[in-house]
Amino acid sequence: MEWRAPEGGAPSWGDPEARALVAVFYAPASGEAPADRVAVAFNAGWTGRPLVLPVPRDGHVWQVAADTADTARAGDNMPAELAARAVLIIVETPAPEAPRRAPDPALLERLSAAAGIANEWWDVEGTQHIVPDDTKRALLAGLRLPAGSIGEVADSLATLSEQRFGRDVPFAHVLQIGAAPELTLAGAAARATGRLDAVIELESGDTVAFPIRPDEGRSAEVERPDGRLARTLTVPLPELPIGRHVVRLGETSCALTIAPPACYLPMALADGERWFGIGTHLYTLRRASADQGIGDFTALTELGTRAAGEGAKVLGLNPLHALLPNERERASPYSPSDRRFLDPIYIDVVALGASMNDFPALAAKPSVDYTGVWKAKEAALRRAFAGFREDEDFTRFVTDGGAMLERFATFQAIAEAFPGKVWRDWPDGLADATGPAVAAFAREKAEAVRFALWQQWVADRQLGAAAVRVKEAGLSLGFYRDLAVGTSFDGAEAWSEAGMLMPGVTIGAPPDPLGPEGQNWNLPPFDPLAWLRDGYASFARLVAANMRHAGALRIDHVMGLRRLFLIPQGASGTEGTYLAMPFEDLAAQVALESHRARCLVVGEDLGTVPGGMREHLAEQRMLSYRVLWFERQDEVFIAPQDYPPLAAACVSTHDLPTLPGWWDGVDFDERLTLGLDDAAAVAKAREARAAEKAELAAALLREGLIDAAPVEGEPLSDAFFVALHAYVARTRSMLALAQIDDLGGERVAVNLPGTDTERPNWRRRLATPVETVLDTPRAKAALAAMRAERGRTS
C-alpha cells in the first residue's frame, strides 16, 4: 500500500529542532471512507523525548504497531516518552465506544482567531455582540476547517499550520512597489543549511535564477496556529518587473504578484481637475425609435454622447453582470448569475438585422418585462446566429476568454437543457463543473455552447464600440462600471467557482436602525484561504472582466476587501460575525488590474465602515463614495470644501428616493401602501423629512446657492433642484455625479430596500427617451451648474 504525507510530505507534528519528530501519513481514501492514518515517530537523539501525537479522530484511538525500543509493546496504548535512538510506528484504530468530545472553547477560539473569525463585534448603537460557538463552527466549516469535535479542531489547527508553515514557499506572496522585496520561506527550506536553487518564472515567459543562501536571510521562530514553533527564513528577492510571476523551489511553487503602489488615476485628475458625470441604470433607458423594451448598448451610446455634449466626462452604470438565463424575473443586478460576463439582454438585436415587429408592445410598457423581452430577443439572436460564419475576431475572443468563458457558455447550455432545475439538482454529474460529465456534455451540445459564446462576443463588441464612441464624443473617462459584492448561489459563477466559495454561510450586514435583525443578502462568500491557494488568480480575473471597456470601476461594498459580515444559513443577522479578508493582497490585485486597464477605482464605503478603512482606501488611491444625504455631522450637512478630494460625490443612489420623490414624500406613500410602515410611523417620518429639508436649505444658503429657504409644502423648485447639483459639484471630490432619474423627473425609485416582489424593483424605465431626457430646462440648468462648478479651481 502506498502512503502519502499531507502537504507534500512535510511532517505535521513534532519538534524537528530537537531531532525528534512525528510524521502522520494517510492511506488513500476509497469511496466514502475517510483516509486511514498511521504515524511514524523518530528520535535520533541520545535522550528520551516526550511523545506528542495529534488528537485521534472521534471514535478512534492511537495504538502501537511496532516499537524498536520495546518489541513487546505492540498493541499497547501510547507511551508518554519516545525512547532514545528509537522508531515507533503507531496506527489509528477504531474505538466504537469512544465518546465524541466537544471542542475545548479555548481551542475553538484559537482556531477561529487563526482563521480570521471575530469573537465579538459592535453594532452602530455601540452594543457588543459575543459570537456564539455555533456561528464560529459554521464559518470554520465554510473555510473547510471542520470544528465539530476536539479531534476536528486539532486536525484543523494542524491543517492551517501546515498550509502556512509546512510549505517551503507560501501559496501566494503579494508585494506592492515600495514594500521590502522579500519572500519568507518555511518548512524544510527554512531549516536548510546549504544553498537552495529556486527559480522565478516571469509573466513574460523568461526565467530568473533565485539562489538562496541561509546566511543572507533573517531567521526567526514563530508560533503556528496549533501552538507549536516553526522556523522561518526571510530572504531578499531580486529586482522584478510588475506582473504575476511564479517562484519554484523543489516541488512547491508560489504565485508572486508585484503590483503598482496604488490604483491608476488619470493625470488630469491627479493634477487637480474635477470632472462630473451622470449615473444611470442601463435597463431603464428608453429609445425614441427601435426601442426593444429595455435599455441596450445603442441607448447607452446615445446617452453617453449627449452627456458628453453637456460637458460630462463619465457615465455611471449598474452592474452589467449576466443574470440567470431561465429565471428572468430575478432582475436584481446585485444578485447575478455571473459577474464575469455580460447579460445578453442588453444586446441591440435590431443592429443585428432583427425586425421591430416583436417589440412595440414591450417598448410601450412603463417597466421592463424581462421574460417577454428575453423571449423576443432570444428568438432574434437565434435567427442572427443561424447566419453567422465564424471569423478571426470571434475565434480570438473565445481563445482569450479561455476556460472561464467556455465554462460559462457550458453552464448556459446546460441550464437551457434542464429548465427549472438549479445546478445542484442537475443529473449525471453535471453539478461538478470540472468533471468529465460536463466536458462530455459540451462536446455533445457544441452548438448550444457556441451560441452562448457568440452572445458574449456580440455583447462585448457592442459595449466596446459604445465605449469608443462616447470617448470620441468627449466623455473622457468613459463608462463607470459597477462590480456587485457577490453572486447568486444557483448561478454560473457559483457553479464554476464552487471550490472558491464558502458553503453554509451567506454575506450580510449587521443590525442597524434600519434593519434591527441585520441583513441577509443571500450571496455566497468567497473563501479567502481558497483565494490564497489559487494565488488570487480568480479574484484578479473577476476584477479584470469588470474593468473591460471602462474608465472607472465602482466596487460595491468595498469593505468586503477587508472583512465580510457572514451569517450561517438559516440564522439571523444577530448571529453573524466578521471574517477578516486579506485586504493588502486584494488591494494590490485591484491596483495591478487598474493600471493594466487604465481604470480608476471607486470603493463604495457606505454602511458600517471599520476604523481606518477610508485611510487604507486613500493609501491605495481608491476613491471614496460620498452620497450627499449621508454626509452630515450632527445632522448638519458637511460643507463642500470638507469633502475629501479622493472621492466620488453624488446627489443620490438607486437605493434612495429620487430627488422629486424625496421632496414630495413619495417613498413614504409607497411604504404605507405596501404595509411596511403604519400611519403613525409615516407621520413621524414626514416630520423628520421637513427638518431635513430645512437643514439642506440652510446648507445651500451658506453656500449662496439659493436666495431664500423654500416654504414648507411648496413643490420642488427649479432653483432648489439646480442648487443641489451645484452643491455636489462644488465639493473638492474628483468626481461628482448626478442621477439620470432626477434629471428625467422620475418620482419613483428603481429599488426599495427591504422589498422583493412587493413592488417592481429593478424594472422601472425612464418616461423620457435618451434622445431628449437631458433637454428639459431643469436638466439643462442642473448640468450647466455642475459644469460651471467643476470648472472652478478647487
**Residue-by-residue DSSP string for 392-460:** HHHHHHHHHHHHHHHHHHHHHHHHHHSTT--GGG-STTTT-TTSHHHHHHHHHTHHHHHHHHHHHHHHH
pLDDT tier at 28, thresholds 50, 70, 90: very low
Q: Measured between alpha carbons, how far is 36 from 191 in angstroms, rounded to an integer?
A: 29
Nearest to 740 by CA among 464, 480, 463: 480
- Confidence at 48, pLDDT banded by 50, 70, 90: low
Q: Where does the pLDDT of residue 669 fall: very low under 50, low under 70, confident under 90, or very high at 90 and above?
A: very high
Q: What is the pLDDT of residue 70?
A: 66
10 Å Cβ neighbour count for 709? 14
Instruction: Report the C-alpha gap between 656 and 101 in whole angstroms.
Output: 51
Task: Please determine, for residue 96, whether its predicted confidence score (pLDDT) is greater than 60.
Answer: no
pLDDT tens column, 311-346: 999 999 999 999 999 999 999 999 999 999 999 999
H/E element holding 86? Answer: strand 86-94
Residue 22 pLDDT level (bands cut at 50, 70, 90)? low
Q: Which residues contact 31 (CB under 8 A, 6 or more apart)?
A: none
Give residue 154's pLDDT.
93
Is residue 227's pLDDT more than 80? Answer: yes
Mean pLDDT to the nearest integer, 733-753: 96
pTM over 0.85: yes
Quickly list DSSP for 695-723.
Answer: HHHHHHHHTTS-SSPPPTTPPPPHHHHHH
Give residue 23's pLDDT: 62
pLDDT of 104-126, one tens digit each?
A: 788 999 999 999 999 999 887 88
Work out the percent of the chain whose per-residue pLDDT is above 70: 89
Average pLDDT over residues 134-145: 97
Please determine, for residue 100, whether its predicted confidence score (pLDDT) is greater than 90. Answer: no
Amino acid identity of residue 253, one-letter, is: S
Tell me what pLDDT residue 16 has: 41
DSSP summary character for residue 242: S
Range 774-787 average pLDDT = 98
Per-residue model confidence (pLDDT) at position 88? 77
Q: pLDDT category, 689, cuts 50, 70, 90?
A: very high
Name the CATH code of domain 273-289+622-794 (choices 3.20.20.80, 3.30.420.240, 3.40.47.10, 3.40.50.10320). 3.20.20.80
| Angle (CA) 531 535 541, round 5° | 75
For the cut 90, the answer to whether the pLDDT of residue 3 exceeds it is no
In the predicted model, what is the mean pLDDT of residues 712-741?
97
Please say if the pLDDT value at position 61 is more than 90.
Answer: no
Residue 418 has pLDDT above 60, yes or no: yes
pLDDT of residue 513 exceeding 70: no
Mean pLDDT of 38-64: 69
Q: Residue 468's closest CA among 401, 551, 400, 395?
A: 551
Task: Report, as an integer, the average pLDDT of 747-766.
Answer: 92
pLDDT for res 37: 73
User: Higher-confidence residue: 599 or 570?
Assistant: 599
Instruction: Choose between 782 and 5: higher pLDDT.
Output: 782
Instruction: Tell me: pLDDT of 667 over 80.
Output: yes
Contact 621, 263 (CB under 8 A): yes
Average pLDDT (687-699) is 96
Question: What is the predicted pLDDT for the residue at 102?
Answer: 62
Rounded mean pLDDT of 751-766?
91
**Residue 89: what pLDDT?**
82
For 621-639, write each residue's pLDDT tens digit: 999 999 999 999 999 999 9
Where does CATH 3.20.20.80 sit in the chain? 273-289+622-794
DSSP 563-613: EEEEEETT--GGG-EEEE--HHHHHHHHHHHHHHHT-EEEE---SSPPTTH
Fold of 6-94: Immunoglobulin-like (2.60.40)
Average the pLDDT over 545-573 and give the result: 95
| Average pLDDT score, the chain | 91
Kindly report, as residue ranges, where domains of CATH 2.60.40.1180 are found in the chain. 6-94
pLDDT of the residue at 91: 81
pLDDT at 221: 95
pLDDT value of residue 75: 56
Taking alpha carbons only, the member of 780, 677, 783, 790 closest to residue 732 is 790
- The answer on pLDDT for 161 being more than 70 is yes
Angle at 242 between CA 236 and CA 243, to 5 degrees: 105
Evaluate whether 39 touches 22 at the Cβ level (below 8 Å): yes
pLDDT of residue 574: 87
Band of residue 32 on the pLDDT scale cut at 50, 70, 90:
very low
Residues with Cβ within 8 Å of 119's Cβ and at least 6 positions away in sequence, in order, are 109, 112, 113, 130, 131, 136, 577
Q: Which candidate, 654, 336, 586, 625, places its Cα nearest to that of 484?
A: 336
The β-bridge relationship of strands 735-739 and 338-342 is unpaired
Residue 142, C-beta contacts closer than 8 angstroms, at least 6 positions apart? 502, 503, 504, 505, 525, 527, 566
CATH number for 166-259: choose from 3.90.320, 2.60.40, 3.40.50, 1.20.120. Answer: 2.60.40
Q: Would you place residue 7 in the very low, low, confident or very high pLDDT band (cuts 50, 70, 90)?
A: very low
Return the pLDDT at 97. Answer: 52
